[in-house]
Amino acid sequence: MKPTYRKRFSRTERTLHWANALGFFFLLASGLALYLPSLSEIVNRRQLVQEVHFWAGCGWISVLVAIVVLGDRRGILRTAREIDAFDADDLRWLTGQKPAPQGRFNAGQKLNSLLTVAFAVLFLVSGLFLWFGEQDTRYRFASTVILHDGLMYASLVLLVGHLYLAVIHPTTRHSLRGITLGTVSEEWAAKHYAKWTPE
């Protein structure tokens, strides 16, 4: 029987996700060239890499804001409300109890989204302090570099978990279809997101 599909992510949501992913990977690569001694020896032109990293970071945040402003703002707001709301089933899901029926996002995905956005804000704040702190002591804090590096490690942990579930884990990797084509199979949605009632 031909599977039927339901829409999970709008075009704005998908654009936001992939712009975020693209920007993050670019910033991770240029950031690691600055951070890892072995890479910094190969790349060499630290000042140039630093400028590229800084402006790419500014561009990354600007593009994300532009997508929200120019895209389906109502849809994004609706998604934000879904991510904001945690109920008793979410708590059951997080503590491994069953049954714990989930809506369009499970509790883990909500947490991942909240931390990803919070980390983006903190990357921006600490990145700006690092950049302007080099020129003016009023913006220099002894812990800025610790925060920026710590965020990188925390983001890597989130990213590895996210990639494993989205690309490798057999029962969850169907979600990749949702974030690329926008739709997921009804059968898969009913199994993993039983409380999700499509509009």
Partner 1 sequence: MTEPQPQFASPKPHHVGRGIFLGTVLAGVSSLYWGERVWSHLSTALAPLEAGIPLIPQGGWRIYTIGDGMPSFDPKTWKLEIGGHAAKPMTLDYERLLSLPKVNQVSTFHCVTGWTVTDVHWGGVRLADVLDLVQPNASAHALQFVSAEVPYVDYLTLAQTKLHNVMLAYEMDGVPLPREHGAPVRLIIPEMYGYKNVKWLNGINLVPAEQIGYWEQYGYDQDAWVGHSNGYGT
* C-alpha span between 157 and 59 (Å, rounded): 24
Q: Number of residues interacting with partner 1: please give it, by CB under 8 A.
A: 54
Q: Of residues 84-103, which lie at the interface with partner 1 (CB under 8 A)? A: 84-89, 101
Position 136 contacts partner 1 (CB under 8 A):
yes
Closest to partner 1 by CB, 21 vs 158, is: 158
State the amino acid at position 162 in one-letter form: H
Three-state DSSP string of 20-81: HHHHHHHHHHHHHHHHCHHHHHHHCCHHHHHHHHHHHHHHHHHHHHHHHHHCCHHHHHHHHH
Position 199 contacts partner 1 (CB under 8 A):
no
Position 51 contacts partner 1 (CB under 8 A):
no
Q: Out of 1, 69, 168, 199, which residue is the one contacting partner 1 (CB under 8 A)?
A: 1
State the amino acid at position 46 in one-letter form: R
Q: How many residues does the chain have?
A: 199
Position 5 contacts partner 1 (CB under 8 A):
no
Closest to partner 1 by CB, 121 vs 176, is: 121
Cβ neighbours of residue 31 closer than 8 Å, sequence gap 6 or more: 53, 152
- Which residues contact partner 1 by CB under 8 A? 1, 4, 35-38, 40-41, 44-47, 83-89, 101, 110-111, 114-115, 117-119, 121-122, 125-126, 129-130, 133-138, 140-147, 150-151, 186-187, 190, 194-195
